[in-house]
Homo-oligomer: A and B are copies of this chain.
Amino acid sequence: MGVLPDSVQKVIDAFEKLPGVGPKSAARMAYHFLRARNNDAINLANSLLTMDQNVVNCRDCFNVSETEVCSICDSPLRDTKQLCVVEDPLDVVAFENSGVYKGVYFVLGGVISPADGIGADELRFPELRMRVGNLTSKIRDHKSSGEMDVAVEFADNPTNKGCLELIIATNPNLEGEATAVYIQDLFRKEISEGTLHITRLAMGLPTGADLEYTDRLTLKRALEGRRAY
């Protein structure tokens, strides 16, 4: 371009790589730092470097963490008989902020998406197998050790069958569904043996929805999933 100093253009280019940032907003971001002339640019740079250095994937669930095992996997208060499979660390944040889930997670790292060139090999299915294996054997040991049946602790869980529950929480779109089917197939043996049962998040109307503007598929799913009062 020539108009822009090289070092400014490089910042704009780096911002443009971010999701949802086009050339115009990237330029506005870069100039924000130049206009303000405070320490904002240095702060962002340093926090990026610190994050890059400190953050690892949790050994067990692959969520982002600053310790080898994340605070959720490490907590004695979490129900290790429920394993929620999500696509992304941000999905974990959504669940945690809602406060409605007390089990543990597994971050798959995406979904199967042939259109984006993401096959099953790109995702953490071997690690998921291992995680499921560890949790089911933990439940088995617990039972055979003669301690009070853990099922009592989680009596409020309607789907509790005394074995590990794998809750598939991929997004309700084509790729998410395909991935859910793939996971079910992956654990066919465990399901038939009764050491694992798989559930999927309910689909239907979101809170505050307007029937008039609801798409056909959502209506269909809401009808199929209707419940008695």
Contacts and interface: CB of A to CB of B under 8 A. Distances in A.
Interface stretch (A23-31, A128-136, A146-154): A23-31
Contacts of A4: 64, 93
Interface stretch (A40-48, A194-202, A216-224): A40-48
Contacts of A90: 27-28, 31
B28 A66 contact: no
A8 interface: yes
A26 to B, nearest CB: 10
A192 interface: no
Contacts of A64: 4-5, 8, 31, 34
Contacts of A35: 88-89, 109
Interface in A3-50: 3-8, 10-11, 13-15, 17-21, 25, 27-35, 40-50
Interface in A57-75: 64-66, 71-72
Contact of A48 (B11, B27, B66): B11
A46 B47 contact: no
Interface of A is mostly: helix
A121 interface: no
Contact of A33 (B6, B40, B51, B96): B51
5 contacts: A7-B47, A7-B66, A10-B51, A42-B49, A44-B44
Given A14-B40, A34-B51, A45-B52, 16 more contacts: A4-B64, A5-B54, A7-B47, A7-B55, A10-B51, A11-B44, A14-B47, A14-B48, A18-B29, A19-B29, A21-B29, A27-B93, A28-B90, A34-B89, A44-B45, A45-B46
